[in-house]
Every structure is written in structure tokens, then in C-alpha cells.
């Protein structure tokens, strides 16, 4: 910046930046980690779509008290013009919004919810992978004791079980209609061997469909209630936690 030495925010730029002129009716708040690992709370104007004029606030840290103190430098009259704030399910973010934007509706970012479900799915896959590694190690040790050459089971696509579980990671993030032929073949074997992974995958896809295809709030709540029932029937602890989290925020 050619006029950096005269910049009015230079003295506090390491800790916070504030651009009140960029605030709008629809904003988002989230936390972001930079390369050194420090967390920052960032507020953006959704209308700017990440371009010039998007940044409203950036504060080092995520403490509600610290962020609110900086936000309140913006006059209340201006903050009352905010109609909607998109945020994740973190309690501190909700507290910041409620204290700073009294007229705003809080909207939970669906991508945070979907990420939780994908994390739960991957958790199931990873557990099976560790079990497969343990089983393979045991088989190798037993073969060694008996002076035998160990040959792992090869599946129809050429994978061993541990390879199947490792290589299935990325296909589980995608909808089935976007799989390559190799991924389709691998998924078929994976789901035959591990029906619980298939069940969890379908729960993730169903939740994604609800968010992507439902515009009406009433219909969305009905569909989420049905999804909640499927989760209960599936019996996955992580998914039950997600269902409870969703119900508490809706």
C-alpha cells in the first residue's frame, strides 16, 4: 500500500480491522485460521461475493466479548439495518450476532451441518480401516510364526481390504452420479463388505438433498424430522449427535 504509513488502521491492524462502510443487510460471520494457526473472526457482506467491499470486520481471536467490543464501534443505527446473518453453530458466534445485530435473523450455514455428517461418515470408514490394518498385521505375524508367505485377500477390483477402505475416502464425499467407473466398482465392493458405511453414506446424501432441494421452511422441517427418524433407526452415535444439534438450532 503506497499510503500505508498514513493508514488510519495501521496501529491496530495486527489485532483488528473494521470497515463499517461495507456492512449490508445480509452478512456472514465465521472463523478462519491463517498459515500460522491463529484464528480470526471475519464478518463479510454477502452481496459483495468475496470481492471488493466484502470485508466488514476481522478480529484476531474468537472471544465473543472481544469481537463484540470492536463491532460496537459501528453505530447501533447502522447495525440495526442488518436483516440476516449466516453463521455456524458455535455458541460464541451466536452470542456475537445477538449482541451486535438486534434486528437480524440468524441463519445456520448448511455447509457446516453437512460437514458434520461427512465427518461422521468418515469416522465409520476410518474405524473399519484401523480394524483391517490390525487384522492384516495379525495375519502377517501368524504367517511369519509358521514360516509361511503372507498373501492378503485381493478383492475383485484388485484392492486389499485396507486399500479398499483407504481409497474409498474421496468417493464418499461425492454423490453416486458423479462417481467414475472405478469409484462405482469400489463403492459396490465397499458397501457389500460394510453395510454400515452404505447406511451412513445414504444418510449424508439424504441430508444434502434436503438442503439442496428444499426452499420452503415448513417442508424443510418436515424432511429434517423424517431424516432424524432415519438416524434414530440407524443407531449411529455421531449421527444422533448431529440430529440433536440440528434440532437445537432450528
What residue segments make up the domains of the chain, in order of their start? 4-108, 111-249
Q: If one looks up domain 4-108 in CATH, what number appears?
A: 3.30.780
pLDDT by 10s per residue, the chain, length 250: 445 556 788 888 888 999 999 999 999 999 888 877 889 999 999 999 889 999 999 999 999 999 999 999 999 999 999 999 998 878 888 899 999 999 998 888 888 889 999 999 999 999 999 999 999 999 999 999 989 888 899 999 999 999 999 999 999 999 999 999 999 999 999 999 999 999 999 999 999 999 888 888 899 889 999 999 999 999 999 999 989 888 876 6
C-alpha gyration radius of the chain = 24
User: Which residue pairs, CB below 8 angstroms and at least 24 apart, start in 90-99?
Assistant: 90/31, 90/62, 92/62, 92/63, 92/64, 93/29, 93/30, 93/31, 93/41, 93/62, 95/64, 95/68, 96/29, 96/41, 96/64, 96/67, 96/68, 96/71, 97/29, 99/64, 99/68
Amino acid at each position: 500500500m503506497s499510503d500505508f504509513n498514513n493508514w488510519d488502521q495501521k496501529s491496530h491492524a495486527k489485532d483488528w480491522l473494521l470497515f463499517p462502510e461495507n456492512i449490508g443487510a445480509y452478512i456472514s460471520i465465521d472463523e478462519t485460521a491463517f498459515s500460522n494457526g491463529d484464528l480470526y473472526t471475519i464478518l463479510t457482506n454477502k452481496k459483495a461475493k468475496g470481492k471488493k467491499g466484502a470485508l466488514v470486520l476481522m478480529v484476531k481471536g474468537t472471544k465473543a466479548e472481544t469481537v463484540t467490543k470492536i463491532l460496537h464501534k459501528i453505530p447501533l443505527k447502522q447495525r440495526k439495518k442488518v436483516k440476516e446473518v449466516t453463521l455456524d453453530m458455535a455458541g460464541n458466534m451466536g452470542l456475537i450476532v445477538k449482541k451486535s445485530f438486534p434486528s437480524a435473523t440468524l441463519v445456520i450455514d448448511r455447509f457446516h451441518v453437512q460437514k458434520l455428517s461427512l465427518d461422521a461418515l468418515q469416522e465409520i470408514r476410518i474405524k473399519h480401516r484401523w480394524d483391517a490394518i490390525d487384522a492384516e498385521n495379525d495375519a502377517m505375524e501368524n504367517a511369519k510364526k509358521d514360516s509361511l508367505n503372507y498373501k492378503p485377500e485381493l478383492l475383485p477390483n484388485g484392492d486389499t481390504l485396507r486399500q479398499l477402505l483407504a481409497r474409498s475416502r474421496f468417493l464418499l464425499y461425492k454423490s453416486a452420479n458423479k462417481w467414475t467407473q472405478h469409484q462405482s466398482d469400489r463403492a459396490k465392493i465397499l458397501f457389500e463388505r460394510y453395510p454400515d458405511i452404505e447406511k451412513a453414506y445414504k444418510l449424508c446424501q439424504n441430508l444434502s438433498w434436503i438442503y439442496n432441494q428444499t426452499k420452503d421452511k415448513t417442508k424443510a422441517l418436515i424432511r429434517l424430522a423424517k431424516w432424524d427418524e432415519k438416524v434414530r433407526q440407524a443407531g449411529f452415535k455421531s449421527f444422533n449427535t448431529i440430529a440433536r444439534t440440528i434440532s437445537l438450532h432450528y
